[in-house]
Amino acid sequence: MKSVAVNGYGTIGKRVADAVSAQDDMKIVGVSKTKPDFEARMAVEKGYDLYISIPEREKLFQDAGIEISGTVDEMLDKTDIVVDCTPEGIGAKNLEIYKKLGIKAIFQGGEKHDNVGLSFNSFANYSDSFGKDYARVVSCNTTGLTRTLKPINDLCGIKKVRAVMVRRGGDPSQINKGPINAVVPNPPTVPSHHGPDLKTVMYGVNINTVALLVPTTLMHQHNLMVELENPVDVDEIKAKLNATPRVLLVKASEGLGSTAELMEYAKELGRSRNDLFEIPVWEESLNVVDGELYYMQAVHQESDVVPENVDAIRAMLEMEEENNKSIAKTNKAMGIL
Ligand code: NAP
Task: Judge if the beta carbon of residue 9 lies within 6 A of ligand 1.
Answer: yes
Q: Is this structure's pTM higher than 0.85? A: yes
Residue 82's pLDDT is 98
Reference 252, options 264, 261, 243; nearest CA is: 261
Q: How many residues does the chain have?
A: 337
Full pLDDT tens readout for the chain, 337 residues: 999 999 999 999 999 999 999 999 999 999 999 999 999 999 999 999 999 999 999 999 999 999 999 999 999 999 999 999 999 999 999 999 999 999 999 999 999 999 999 999 999 999 999 999 999 999 999 999 999 999 999 999 999 999 999 999 999 999 998 878 999 999 999 999 999 999 999 999 999 999 999 999 999 999 999 999 999 999 999 999 999 999 999 999 999 999 999 999 999 999 999 999 999 999 999 999 999 999 999 999 999 999 999 999 999 999 999 999 999 999 999 999 8
Task: Give the integer Cα–Cα distance in Å for 163 and 191.
Answer: 10
Task: Give the integer Cα–Cα distance in Å for 217 and 169.
Answer: 6
- For residue 250, CA distances in Å to 208, 258, 285 come to 26, 10, 10
> 138 with 201: CB under 8 angstroms?
yes
Q: Please report, rounded to a whole number, the percentage of residues in the chain having pLDDT higher than 90.
A: 98
Task: Judge if the beta carbon of residue 43 lies within 6 A of ligand 1.
Answer: no
Q: Which of 72, 90, 140, 249 is catalytic?
A: 140
Strands 207-214 and 220-228: unpaired
Whether 85 is catalytic is: no
Task: Judge if the beta carbon of residue 110 lies within 6 A of ligand 1.
Answer: yes
Query: CB-hemisphere CA count at 13 Å for 185?
Result: 7
Residue 109's pLDDT is 98
Please report the domains of the chain, with CATH numbers, ordered by start residue: 2-138+305-334 (3.40.50.720), 141-299 (3.30.360.10)
Ligand 1 midpoint to CA 334 (Å): 22
Task: Judge if the beta carbon of residue 35 lies within 6 A of ligand 1.
Answer: yes
Phi, psi of 209 (to 5 degrees): -130, 150
SS3 126: helix
> 274 with 306: CB under 8 angstroms?
no
Reference 213, options 179, 190, 195, 186; nearest CA is: 186
Residue 188's pLDDT is 96
- For residue 67, CA distances in Å to 15, 40, 126, 324 come to 21, 9, 38, 40
